[in-house]
Amino acid sequence: MLRNPSPATDAPGERSRAMELNEARLISLIATGDRHAFETLYRNYFPRLTRFLGRMTRNAQTIEEIVNDTMLVVWQKSDTYDHSCKVSTWIFAIAYRKALKAIQFLDEPMDSDPDLYPAETVHEPEQEISHQQLQCTLETAFDAIPTEQRVVLILTYYHGMGYAEIAKAMDCPVNTVKTRMFHARRRLKTLLSGEKEQA
């Protein structure tokens, strides 16, 4: 006997699908030169791309440049979006390629602007200190992981992408994404446990 799907269970999926359709509509409008649609998409993606890029480089100026370069490509190439993947996958793929190029030219990472990455509200001073220490530990561990492995972790845990989407964004096979995730998790566990990684 078939059960009716639970509205509570389906709500997130329906919201996600509605968001995808809305973003695809915005891209179609942008392809016709609609500046308002572009501004809407830009506002939606600025914080998401900033968080993503902030975990690839600490240089706040570079982060903003990459976001702007990425969205410029979206503006100029929106008519090439072919619906073979989600809009978010397409945009993150552009940002990833732009970031890899930009990082090659950075001599030394700089501290990023903390205002770009709003932290959770913590009311107790002890909790705030504990939160900051944990954040610092995680950031240090993330920095020690190779970029391609780090990107897989970021896209999975911070942006909710599946392996197939990540493979599309990074232009590599799904099995490569799985391998990178395996090594990233293992290295992160080693770093966070304070043990030296075995060669």
Whether 156 and 180 have beta carbons less than 8 Å apart is answered as no
Supply the pLDDT for residue 6: 45
Cα–chain center distance at 171:
15
Which residue type occupies 103?
A: I
Whether 152 and 160 have beta carbons less than 8 Å apart is answered as no
Supply the pLDDT for residue 125: 55
Domains of the chain: 16-111 (1.10.1740.10), 125-199 (1.10.10.10)
Supply the pLDDT for residue 73: 95
- Residue (of 109, 107, 194, 96) closest to 150 by Cα position: 96
Is residue 17 very low, low, confident or very high in pLDDT (cuts 50, 70, 90)? Answer: confident
Nearest-5° angle of CA 85, CA 91, CA 93?
A: 80
Supply the pLDDT for residue 59: 81
Is residue 118 very low, low, confident or very high in pLDDT (cuts 50, 70, 90)? Answer: very low
**175 or 114, which is more confident:** 175
Model confidence pLDDT, tens digit, residues 119-171:
444 445 566 566 667 667 777 777 788 889 989 988 888 888 889 999 999 99
Q: What residue has token string 């709003």?
A: 118
**198 or 143, which is more confident:** 143
Q: Using a cut of 0.95, tell me whether the model's pTM lies above it.
A: no
Q: Is the dihedral of CA 47, 51, 53, 58 positive or negative?
A: positive
Alpha helices by DSSP H, 32-173: 35-54, 60-77, 87-104, 125-143, 147-157, 163-170
Distance between CA atoms of residues 156 and 131, nearest Å: 22
Model confidence pLDDT, tens digit, residues 36-92:
999 999 999 999 999 999 888 878 888 999 999 999 999 999 999 998 889 999 999
